Amino acid sequence: MATEKMIAQKDGAVGRIIFNNLERRNAVSLEMWEALGEITADYVADDQVRMIVLEGAGDKAFVAGADISRFGSERTSQEDVERYGAVISASTEALADAPKPTIAKIRGFCIGGGLGIALSCDMRICADDAQFAVPAAKLGLGYPHGNLRKLTDVVGPSFAKEIFFTARRFSAAEAVEMGLVNRVVKVADLDDYVSNYAAMIVGNAPLTIRQIKGTIGELMKDPAERDLGQCDKWVKGCFDSADYVEGQAAFMEKRRAEFKGR
């Protein structure tokens, strides 16, 4: 990668993506957005990686939005702005479309583009010090419909409007009330909680998880765009797999299944 501000670490079956821009509270520059797409693609292609966890370096932030200090060099013309937007869209869509489960592990600030990254993950687990906001209305920014849909799909239209209309920061307690995050835990417990959750997930059948993620993704599309035939193929693939045979045998033998993803 072209930047040291994105760290990729493989921890057994878990691929970790760490935003590492401490002096800017992990705010994301163009090269970091590009690296996000590269790392995600690497993990998707790696059969040893069964899930992906995203987090921010340090204890102040997950991602505190875009790195505004870089706008002077990265968004100086309309062409630059369009390229910047295309890179963000490509990277977040690659994350959202990854067939492997993803968790955003959130401490501190999760603002603007940081929330967009978190919403591109399947689950969001945060510490009780987390703060969430989209300050677009304070900056006069427009928001693409794809990003608005992600938020609305998660929290519903009324909460999505509240988040944007007020542009204020929401606490972890408010976030879980809205359904913006799946779980809130104490700061001291966050690392262990997410590690244990990841271990639980990677111990389950990868083909089943892929089928469920893919099918839910299709069901979230507009009806005319859904590929329900592909959903049926994913289900058939589970029943035709060696993992299905292993799962039945492990159940009868009262032991832990050893799934291979095939």
DSSP codes joined into one string, 173-189: HHHHHHTS-SEEE-GGG
Do 95 and 123 fall into the same domain? yes
Q: What is the pLDDT of residues 52-102, one digit of tens each?
A: 999 999 999 999 987 666 655 555 667 767 787 888 889 999 999 999 999
Do 126 and 138 fall into the same domain? yes
Q: Is residue 242 part of a domain?
A: yes
Do 211 and 190 fall into the same domain? no
What gap in Å lies between CA 49 and CA 44, rounded to an integer?
A: 7
Terminal-to-terminal C-alpha distance of the chain: 31
Do 56 and 184 fall into the same domain? yes
Q: What is the pLDDT of residues 157-203, one digit of tens each?
A: 999 999 999 999 999 999 999 999 999 999 999 999 999 999 999 99
Do 68 and 192 fall into the same domain? yes
Give the domain extent around 60: 6-201
